Amino acid sequence: MILKAAKFASDKHKGQFRKGNLNTPYINHPIKVAYVLEKVGGVSDPETIAAAILHDVIEDTDTTHSDLRNIFNEKVADLVLEVSDEKDKPRDERKAMQIKNASNLSYEAKLIRIADKICNIQDICGADIPNWSYEQKFEYLEWAKGVVDQLKGTHKLLENHFFDEHRWGRLKL
């Protein structure tokens, strides 16, 4: 299932690059999210790892919940849907909804959300720096913290890793 998810996501994200960085293929991000879940969080459930690899396909491609349900299963499709923003809504509204709805996510979706924020901070503030201003990076760091603050008590190792990365990110600004 995990390899099937990697193949599906790589096909769907083909030609996409990380925001602000045309040198990094987008597929690197969802693979990294799954890797953090497994290596940092000790998550081994194949459906959760597959959903982590697929976490942006509804949001950023023409893939639907129904497609994922038919190709994978209901649980994987539901997890991906849970962590997908509604792209038809304005950016600020989507960001506010992530904070507001974070505590209502399923346990597995919360794990994916935390790992996603860890990876985004690493990408935004790391060696592969996107072409973002100080203000954009600072705003992202604070918003991501607002999301993860709502997930406290979910998974100590992932949360601690997030807050370590957040502190490191603030220093790198």
Listed range (38-47, 64-73, 101-110, 123-132) with the worst mean pLDDT: 123-132
Q: Domain tally for the chain? A: 1
Give the pLDDT score at 173: 86
Catalytically active residues are 59-60
What confidence score (pLDDT) does residue 21 get? 79
Q: Mean pLDDT over residues 24-40, rounded?
A: 97
The tens digit of pLDDT for each residue in 112-171 reads: 999 999 999 999 998 767 788 899 999 999 999 999 999 999 999 999 999 999 999 999
CATH of the domain at 26: 1.10.3210.10
d(CA 96, CA 165): 22
Domain that holds residue 115: 2-172
The mean pLDDT of the chain is 95
Instruction: Please compute the mean of the pLDDT values over residues 23-33 and round it to a whole number.
Output: 95
